[in-house]
Structure 1
Amino acid sequence: MTTEPNSDKFRRNAQGHLVPIDKIKDIDRLRDDLVLSLIKRVNKLHENMREFKAEVASEIDAFLELSASEYDTAYGGKKGNVTLRSFDGRYMVKRNIADREVFDERLQVAKELIDQCLHEWTADSRSEVQALVEHAFQTDKEGKVSLSRVLQLRQVNITDEKWQKAMHAIADARQVIGSAKHLNFYEREGEDGPYRHIPLDIAKL
């Protein structure tokens, strides 16, 4: 088991090499100190926000159960969306739960069927459909296909049997792999003004 050397005497550079402190420029060392200090504080803030989210979600669930108990029943909507408002209407808390969906291998079957359709339709010059298909199957930086863009293809009114098989394959390829819980907080501007979202994203502060 190896231990990190004394940071008062050495620092590890980007290539993994140990560099004596006296060989590092003051400005480079000060920059390093600043970045490490900021990241340490950010990690603490990140952990606090994770704990806060878990606590808020638990408190909302407990309140919903309490509210339902007044009618001698149990709250069955833990997977649903909920909006809670303060008594004076100034503040609002929203909990939204959305399914996380992906496509399985059948999406490639659908793409092959669609490509066959486009090849057969070349003479008809259906360039709009071809552009729509190419856009739908574009991938992001992580190589993932956009769920919403692919599902838009199912709204195209084409009765071709092969196209319809492709649309069924898209539907079958759609898989729910979990859910994401979103919490949002709002404050009303004035007595009857619109609600303003209270951002917790540091970039929006």
Structure 2
Amino acid sequence: MPETLNLDDFMEDARGRLVPKSIVPEIDRERDALVRETVDAARELQQKMTKFKMRAMGDVHAFVELSAEKYKARLGGNKGNITMVSFDGRLKVQISIAEHITFDERLKAAKTLIDECLTSWTDNGRDEIKMIVMDAFDVDKDGCLNVRQILGLRRFEIEDETWQRAMEAISDSIQVMGSKSYLRVYERTAADGRWEPVPLDLAAL
């Protein structure tokens, strides 16, 4: 009967092969141990940060509910963006809701109508708008459209009937695919009174 392997005596390499620890250089074993220890600590910290975020957001929403009850107001659905500032005005907690927006096929109709406008406009005074419109429909390196720039086209007060139909098509094409809540904390600096974020991103520390 073949002897059972003791996996503690082996290390798995990048190709999935079991290599006896006895032939793995000591520096490689020490590096492996350091990497695993650091990643384990990072995972533990990630779990703590997730619990902190959920607790903090829960506390803020609970306070908003309590505040509303004092005015006999009932809150329902998405509570939206919330900002709370400490009594001394030096600390701030902010919850913001960011929606993930995309466009359906009606955006192509909007682009066609806009192209008609660009072709028909000969007034030099609209050259700047032409450039903004063309930039709005440029895609990034991942092939994605810039949602903010496209939605920003609707701010132009242009009476052209074709343009108006194009803006209507943009509005109708908007699809909200979901939303994400962000928790941010700030501290006001004593020097110039600006709000500085308290970094919770390891790369920002």
TM-score (norm 2): 0.76
Q: Higher mean Cα deviation, 143-152 or 158-167?
A: 158-167
Question: Do the aligned partners of residues 28 and 193 (structure 1) sit closer, same or farther apart at CA in structure 2, a change above 3 Å counting?
Answer: same
Residue number in structure 2 paired with 1:83: 83
Give identity over the alignment, percent: 41
Partner of 2:10: 9
Counterparts of 2:85 and 2:123, CA distance in 1: 56
Letter in 2 for 1:94: Q
CA 1:38–1:138 in 2, change beyond 3 Å: closer, same or farther? Answer: farther
In structure 2, the residue matched to 1:154 is 154
Shift of 1:28: 4.7
Relative to structure 1, is the Cα distance of residues 87 and 104 closer, same or farther in structure 2, using a 3 angstrom cutoff?
same
- Structure 2 residue runs of 5 or longer lacking an equivalent are 1-5
Cα distance in 2 for residues equivalent to 1:72 and 1:90: 30
Counterpart CA distance in 2 for 1:93 and 1:24 is 51
Residue identity in the other structure for 2:199: P
- Answer with 156-165 or 57-66: which moved more: 156-165
Q: Distance in 1 between matches of 2:199 and 2:123?
A: 50
The answer to whether the 8 A contact 1:61-1:78 is kept is no
In structure 1, runs of 5+ residues without a counterpart are: none
The alpha-carbon deviation at position 59 of structure 1 amounts to 0.9
Contact map agreement 1:80 1:97 (CA 8 A) in 2: yes
CA distance in 2 between partners of 1:90 and 1:184 (Å): 14
Quickly say closer, same or farther: Cα 1:49–1:172, change in 2 above 3 A: same
Give the structure 2 partner of residue 60 of structure 1: 60
Q: 1:18 is matched with which residue?
A: 17
Paired with 2:12 and 2:61, the residues of 1 have a C-alpha distance of 48
Are residue 114 (structure 1) and residue 110 (structure 2) matched?
Answer: no
Q: Give yes or no for contact 1:97–1:179 (8 Å, CA) kept in 2.
A: yes
Asked if 2 retains the 8 angstrom alpha-carbon contact of 1:90 and 1:191, the reply is no
The 2-side partners of 1:62 and 1:191 are apart by 34
Q: Give the whole-Å Cα distance in 2 for the aligned partners of 1:79 and 1:148.
A: 23
Deviations 1:146-191 (A, max 9, x none): 1111122223454443333222111111122332222221223349
Give the length in aligned residue pairs: 198
Judged with a 3 Å threshold, the aligned counterparts in structure 2 of structure 1 residues 189 and 132 are, in CA distance, closer, same or farther, namely closer
Structure 1 distance, partners of 2:11, 2:147, is 49
Q: Which amino acid aligns with 2:12?
A: R
- Give the RMSD, CA atoms, in angstroms: 3.3
Task: Give CA-to-partner distance per residue, 1:104-147, whole Å, 9 cap, x none.
Answer: 221122223333444x3487787644432332122234332111
Residue in 1 that maps onto 2:3: none
Q: Alpha carbons of 1:147 and 1:18: their partners in 2 closer, same or farther (altered >3 Å)?
A: same
**What SS does structure 1 have at the residue aligned with 2:92?**
strand
